[in-house]
């Protein structure tokens, strides 16, 4: 059989219907100039609507969606996160009590390093599980086309995880400080705990907005383990600094980082309505 | 009315959508192209999931990105890979989407029940979604896309992976739900559009190569489709479309600009047009 390449140009030309040509013609008159100018004028006249901030979004979202829908399909992640967090803090407490610390500095850093590494654990576990679950279930694209902005939902979820993490790490830190008498004030340890939690959260937000790739969500986790390790290795050099920092200053640093965290979430709610262009 | 003005989109160095302009009014608009032709990219731009590199998309004269939640509030979307929560019931899932669309609980509950009834899942509303068949899950997907009574409904490959019975059922549902709204139905299955699409938009090399009703498209091929014997040698300009079984004999369905020396003319269908247009993509 002769299967030579047929000349389909005539039929293609016929099928390239007049509709498209009509659109192009109309567009030159309407879309190309007048409509575009009218749209620009309307936007300039009305201005860009200001979006509500974090607090309003939190209140409106909890009212409209309810807590159940805010974490719809994700309660298992929250449950696993809570169990894992309790287990981690119990392990920290147990190992600290069992270990015979060779020096005062070793004893202090035997508590400071776990507090630094473990304070963001609830935020980390719940946030990672939620992201991975929504990725695996392919629900993100659907949620992104709904009326509630996904950025707002993500910001409110982060606020929720951050606050619960803060409560749990505060409880754990106070309990550890009171029962073990490590040689550092509770305020200093709380400052370390809050600083670690909110620095971690800020780093996680930055990485998610700026770093691409499947494995990017694990980047901050890896960084935190390395930082904890470095903190332990440099304990003798770092110890004098820790002793001389006033406890109130340590706690204030943690609270300032909390404030920055809230401002970043607020910015995510209020922020640009337009997704970034990839190019062009 | 949805307008796309000179919209382009590239991924890495590949231009997937190339200076595409289009106006879409009420009715079912079938987006037909082979896999990888840019259908999903175009759909995702209209659904605000990705932004064009250049060009504008407007809804009644307003940029859809500037309209933001106002635009998303009038949009119903069924993605190609419809994600759901397997351990929750269809009714719970619809209630969740209703909440995300800003519909209050009191209004959402009867609405969810009503939509489940429309898509034939009245008795399965309380069942966990993981126990539903693929066709049932797609129908839940269609119901969630309808929950806000959208003015613009986008369905990305809704019949992919369904058996013929479910495909016909879903197609009929789309047709029934398409009144007074714009429905954009993306597919590579020609039969999905033949009966329900008011317009068929075909994409080729990131551009629109055809935007007409199925009837107008097939009319262009009238007198050019023939059944010829199996040993027929194709001539210049002719194109083999399909081998058909006619009793015990095999016959060839061909496109020929002029009547062949032997053979019988047959009515053209949308699949013929699809094969003719995308012949060089093999």
Q: What is the pLDDT of residues A230-268, one digit of tens each?
A: 988 888 888 888 888 899 999 999 999 999 999 998 888
**Which residue's structure tokens are 């859809």?**
B64
| pLDDT above 90 as % of chain A | 27
* Rounded-to-integer distance, Cα B282 and Cα A187, Å: 71
Q: Give pLDDT, residue B95.
A: 92
Residue A44 sits at the chain B interface (C-beta within 8 Å) = no
Pair of tokens at residue B169: 């059922």
Residue B257 sits at the chain A interface (C-beta within 8 Å) = yes
Q: Give pLDDT, residue B278.
A: 85
Task: Tally the C-alpha atoms within 13 A of residue B92's C-alpha that lie toward its C-beta.
Answer: 15
Q: What ipTM does the predicted assembly reach?
A: 0.83
Pair of tokens at residue B88: 């929750």
The stretch B263-271 carries a mean pLDDT of: 89
The bridge status of strand B225-229 relative to strand B264-265 is antiparallel
Contact A149 B68 (CB under 8 A): yes
Show residues of chain A in contact with B86, CB under 8 Å: 137
Which one of B68, B85, B210 has the shortest CB-CB distance to A15? B210
Show residues of chain B in contact with A278, CB under 8 Å: 50-51, 53
Show residues of chain B in contact with A1, CB under 8 Å: 231-234, 240
Residue B212 sits at the chain A interface (C-beta within 8 Å) = yes
Angle at CA of residue B234, ends B230 and B237, nearest 5°: 145
End-to-end Cα separation, chain A, in angstroms:
49
**Which residue's structure tokens are 């607020």?**
A266
Which residues are within 8 A (CB) of B21 and not within 5 positions of it... i.e. 6 or more apart?
A20, A23, A24, A27, A31, B4, B5, B6, B7, B55, B208
The stretch B9-23 carries a mean pLDDT of: 91
Contact B21 A35 (CB under 8 A): no
Chain A closest-CA separation from residue B273 CA (Å): 8
* Rounded-to-integer distance, Cα B33 and Cα B209, Å: 10
Which one of B68, B77, B240 has the shortest CB-CB distance to A273? B68
Residue B102 sits at the chain A interface (C-beta within 8 Å) = yes
Which one of A15, A35, A148 has the shortest CB-CB distance to B102? A148
Chain B closest-CA separation from residue A251 CA (Å): 38
Q: Give pLDDT, residue B97.
A: 92
Please give the DSSP secondary-structure letter assigned to residue A31.
I
Residue B96 sits at the chain A interface (C-beta within 8 Å) = yes
Contact A27 B21 (CB under 8 A): yes
* Residue A200 banded pLDDT, cuts 50, 70, 90: very high
Is there a contact between A95 and A107 (Cβ–Cβ < 8 Å)? no
Rg, Å, chain A Cα set = 27
Chain A closest-CA separation from residue B108 CA (Å): 12
**Residue bearing the bigger pLDDT, B28 or A183:** B28
* Rounded-to-integer distance, Cα B92 and Cα B95, Å: 5
For residue A117, what are the CA distances in angstroms to A86, A228, A229?
14, 6, 9
Which one of B51, B82, B102 has the shortest CB-CB distance to A147? B102
* Rounded-to-integer distance, Cα A129 and Cα A157, Å: 13
Q: Give pLDDT, residue A36.
A: 64
Contact B239 A6 (CB under 8 A): yes
Dihedrals phi, psi of B114, to nearest 5 degrees: -60, -45
Chains A, B: CB pairs < 8 Å? 190
Contact B276 A72 (CB under 8 A): no
* Rounded-to-integer distance, Cα A193 and Cα B109, Å: 44
* Rounded-to-integer distance, Cα B157 and Cα A184, Å: 62
What is the greatest pairwise CA distance in chain B? 70
Q: Is the pLDDT of residue B189 over 50?
A: yes
The mean predicted confidence, pLDDT, of chain A is 79
Strand ranges of the sheet holding B152-156, from the earlier edge strand across to the other edge: B75-78, B152-156, B182-187, B27-32, B199-204, B207-212
| pLDDT above 70 as % of chain A | 78
Q: Is the pLDDT of residue A2 over 50?
A: no
Q: Which residues pair with A232 in a beta bridge?
A: none
The bridge status of strand B249-255 relative to strand B239-246 is antiparallel
End-to-end Cα separation, chain B, in angstroms:
35
Residue B166 sits at the chain A interface (C-beta within 8 Å) = no
**Residue bearing the bigger pLDDT, A180 or A18:** A180
Is there a contact between B255 and B242 (Cβ–Cβ < 8 Å)? no
The stretch B121-142 carries a mean pLDDT of: 92
Show residues of chain B in contact with A24, CB under 8 Å: 21
Is there a contact between A12 and B277 (Cβ–Cβ < 8 Å)? yes
Which one of A10, A31, A153 has the shortest CB-CB distance to B3? A31
* Rounded-to-integer distance, Cα B104 and Cα B109, Å: 9
**Residue bearing the bigger pLDDT, A43 or B171:** B171
């Amino acid at each position: 059989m002769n299967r030579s390449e047929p000349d389909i140009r005539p039929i293609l030309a016929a099928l390239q219907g007049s509709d498209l040509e009509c659109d192009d013609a109309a567009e030159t008159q309407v879309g190309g100039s007048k409509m575009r100018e009218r749209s620009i004028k309307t936007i300039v006249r009305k201005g860009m609507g200001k979006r509500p901030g974090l607090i309003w979004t939190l209140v409106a979202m909890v009212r409209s969606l309810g807590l159940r829908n805010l974490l719809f399909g994700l309660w298992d992640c929250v449950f696993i996160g809570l169990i894992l967090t309790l287990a981690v803090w119990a392990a920290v407490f147990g190992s600290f009590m069992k270990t015979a610390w060779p020096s005062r500095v070793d004893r202090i850093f035997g508590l400071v390093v776990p507090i630094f590494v473990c304070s963001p654990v609830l935020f980390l576990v719940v946030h990672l599980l939620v992201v991975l679950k929504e990725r695996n279930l392919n629900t993100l694209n659907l949620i992104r086309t709904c009326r509630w902005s996904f950025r707002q939902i993500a910001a409110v979820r982060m606020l929720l995880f951050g606050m619960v993490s803060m409560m749990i790490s505060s409880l754990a830190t106070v309990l550890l400080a009171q029962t073990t008498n490590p040689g550092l004030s509770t305020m200093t340890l709380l400052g370390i705990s809050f600083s670690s939690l909110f620095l971690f959260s800020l780093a996680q937000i930055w990485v998610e907005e700026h770093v691409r790739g499947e494995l990017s969500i694990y980047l901050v986790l890896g960084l935190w383990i390395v930082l904890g390790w470095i903190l332990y290795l440099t304990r003798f050099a770092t110890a004098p600094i820790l002793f001389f920092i006033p406890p109130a200053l340590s706690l204030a640093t943690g609270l300032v980082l909390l404030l920055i965290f809230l401002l970043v979430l607020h910015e995510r709610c209020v922020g640009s309505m337009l997704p970034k262009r990839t190019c062009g | 009315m949805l307008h796309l003005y000179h919209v382009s989109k590239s991924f890495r160095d590949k231009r997937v959508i190339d200076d595409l302009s289009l106006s879409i009014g009420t009715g079912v608009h079938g987006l037909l192209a082979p896999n990888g032709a840019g259908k999903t990219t175009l759909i995702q731009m209209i659904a605000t999931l990705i932004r064009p590199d250049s060009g504008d998309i407007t809804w009644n004269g307003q940029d859809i990105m500037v309209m933001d939640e106002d635009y998303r509030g009038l949009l119903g979307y069924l993605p190609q890979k419809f994600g759901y929560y397997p351990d929750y019931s269809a009714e719970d899932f619809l209630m969740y989407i209703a909440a995300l669309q800003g519909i209050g609980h009191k209004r959402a509950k009867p609405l969810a029940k009503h939509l489940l009834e429309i898509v034939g899942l009245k008795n399965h509303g309380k069942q966990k979604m993981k126990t539903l068949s693929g066709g049932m899950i797609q129908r839940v997907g269609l119901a969630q896309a309808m929950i806000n009574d959208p003015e613009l409904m986008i369905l990305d490959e809704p019949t992919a992976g369904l058996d013929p019975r479910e495909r016909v059922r879903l197609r009929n549902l789309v047709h029934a739900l398409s009144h007074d709204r714009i429905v954009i139905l993306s597919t590579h299955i020609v039969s999905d559009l033949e009966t329900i699409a008011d317009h068929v938009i075909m994409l080729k090399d990131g551009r629109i190569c055809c935007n007409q009703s199925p009837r107008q498209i097939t009319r262009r091929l009238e007198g050019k489709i023939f059944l010829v014997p199996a040993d027929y040698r194709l001539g210049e300009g002719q194109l083999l479309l399909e081998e058909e079984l006619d009793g015990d004999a095999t016959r060839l369905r061909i496109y020929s600009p002029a009547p062949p020396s032997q053979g019988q003319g047959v009515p053209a269908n949308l699949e013929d047009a699809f094969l003719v247009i995308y012949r060089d993509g093999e």
